[in-house]
């Protein structure tokens, strides 16, 4: 286990508390001198020491919180043996569509769906890929939830990378056949599940070839559709792009592809249904050690909460 500080220089804020301790000490000495000159009882030295210690403790805890301490430790991870999930994001331009410029785009909603699924199956290795007119891996299946979230938030973006073709619709489900031919999954993975999150606005596909390639690669597919009829693609000024119109046949096209490969289609709002479909394909499976990972925890919130205890005692002593 190790302790590090994200902002060590911020601990200098504790000097303000140190000035408070000095001010309190000098104030108590002056009060004692005035009491002596007036023939009054001097304040107890013990009470002054207690108050100084309490104020100093408050300053120390605030300084500790400002430095943002992080405790890191390495622990063994256990995962489902022989099972992997790959979340494939449609990153074509139509995934920018939304109902209004202030609402989440289809890709934003796809990210949310993927994260919900990831946190629902922590014992399973999950990876990330993108789909346009080809499938590209961004993260091979791993147990690391932080790595998954970072890749989804930072690496997945519209036309990143751009498709080879510049057609009105560039999503090519035929490219999913590469999941069964290229090493997207480990060779020893028995249960290989591809969760494809798309709006379904695709170009024609050879369903027989796609089904054959996925079958040969032992890849089980689940489709999640993020699509609404009244959406548009907006430019930077908030004006709808006249070159884009939602495809009213997208749901039918997606279900046609899904039916050819024996895959269910889940709506973006049915997160429990998606998790259930994935778990049904994962099966039982034994949880076995799969290496070690670094687990970290920030202690700043606990330090701030702890500072309230001596502060409350200090205020109580001054008011009693």
Residue 292's pLDDT band, with cuts at 50, 70 and 90, is: low
191 within 8 A of 84, measured Cβ to Cβ:
yes
- Output the pLDDT for position 320: 62
| Secondary structure of the chain in HEC code, one letter for each residue | CEEEECCHHHHHHHHHHHHHHHHHHHHHHHHHHHHHHCCCCCCCHHHHHHHHHHHHHHHHHHHHHHCCEEEEEEEEEEEECCEEEEEEEECCHHHHCECCCCCCCHHHHHHHHHHHHHHHCCCCEEEEEEECCCEEEEEEEECCHHHHHHHHHHCCCCCCCCCCCCCCCCECHHHHHHHHCCCCCCCCCCEEEEEEEECCCECCCCHHHHHHHHHHCCEEEEEEECCCCCCECECCCCCECCCCCCCCCHHHHHHHHHHHHCCCEEECCCHHHHHHHHHHHHCCCCEEEEEEEEEEEECHHHHHHHHHHHHHHHHHHHHC
Q: Is the pLDDT of residue 307 over 80?
A: yes
Name the most confidently modeled range: 41-50, 71-80, 309-318: 309-318
Q: Is the pLDDT of residue 41 over 80?
A: no
Question: What tokens does 33 get?
Answer: 């001198």
Gyration radius of the chain's alpha carbons: 30
More confident residue, 151 or 243: 151
Question: What tokens does 282 get?
Answer: 């994962």
What are the tens digits of pLDDT across the range 205-227? 999 999 999 999 999 999 999 99
Q: Is 7 left (phi over 0), alpha (psi -120 to 50) or beta?
A: beta
**Position of tokens 């410029």?**
101
**Model's pTM, two decimal places?**
0.73
Q: Cα-Cα-Cα-Cα dihedral of 297, 301, 307, 311, to 10°?
A: -170
Residue 118's pLDDT band, with cuts at 50, 70 and 90, is: very high
Residues counted in the chain: 320
Q: Is the pLDDT of residue 18 over 80?
A: no
Residue 293's pLDDT band, with cuts at 50, 70 and 90, is: low
258 within 8 A of 231, measured Cβ to Cβ:
no
The proportion of the chain whose per-residue pLDDT surpasses 90, expressed as a percent, equals 52
Residue 58's pLDDT band, with cuts at 50, 70 and 90, is: confident
What are the tens digits of pLDDT across the range 139-187? 999 988 889 999 999 999 999 888 776 555 568 899 999 999 989 999 9
> Whole-angstrom Cα distance, residue 172 to residue 117?
24
More confident residue, 222 or 31: 222
pLDDT averaged over the chain? 87
- Output the pLDDT for position 298: 87
């Amino acid at each position: 286990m190790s302790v590090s500080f994200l902002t060590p220089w911020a601990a200098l804020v504790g000097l303000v508390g140190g000035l408070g301790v000095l001010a309190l000490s000098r104030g108590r000495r002056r009060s004692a001198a005035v009491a002596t000159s007036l023939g009054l009882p001097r304040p107890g030295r013990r009470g002054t020491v207690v108050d100084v210690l309490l104020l100093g403790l408050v300053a120390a805890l605030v300084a500790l919180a400002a430095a943002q301490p992080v405790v890191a430790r390495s622990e063994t991870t256990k995962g489902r043996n022989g099972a992997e999930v790959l979340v494939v994001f449609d990153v074509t331009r139509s995934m920018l569509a939304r109902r209004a410029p202030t609402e989440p785009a289809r890709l934003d909603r796809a990210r949310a769906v993927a994260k919900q699924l990831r946190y629902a199956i922590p014992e399973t290795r999950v990876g990330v890929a993108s789909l346009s007119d080809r499938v590209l891996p961004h993260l091979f299946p791993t147990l690391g939830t932080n790595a998954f979230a970072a890749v989804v938030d930072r690496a997945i973006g519209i036309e990143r990378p751009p498709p080879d073709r510049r057609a009105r619709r560039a999503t090519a489900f035929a490219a999913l056949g590469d999941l069964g031919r290229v090493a997207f999954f480990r060779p020893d993975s028995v249960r290989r599940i591809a969760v494809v999150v798309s709006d379904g606005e695709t170009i024609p596909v050879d369903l027989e070839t796609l089904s054959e390639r996925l079958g040969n690669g032992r890849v089980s597919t689940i489709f999640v559709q993020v699509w609404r009829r009244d959406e548009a693609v907006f430019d930077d000024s908030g004006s709808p792009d006249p070159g884009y119109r939602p495809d009213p046949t997208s749901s039918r096209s997606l279900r046609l592809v899904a039916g050819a490969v024996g895959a269910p289609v889940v709506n973006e709002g049915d997160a429990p249904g998606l998790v259930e479909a994935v778990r049904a394909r994962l099966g039982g499976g034994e949880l076995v050690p799969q290496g070690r990972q670094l687990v970290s925890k920030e202690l700043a919130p606990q330090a701030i909460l702890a500072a309230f205890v001596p502060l409350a005692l200090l205020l109580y002593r001054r008011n009693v």
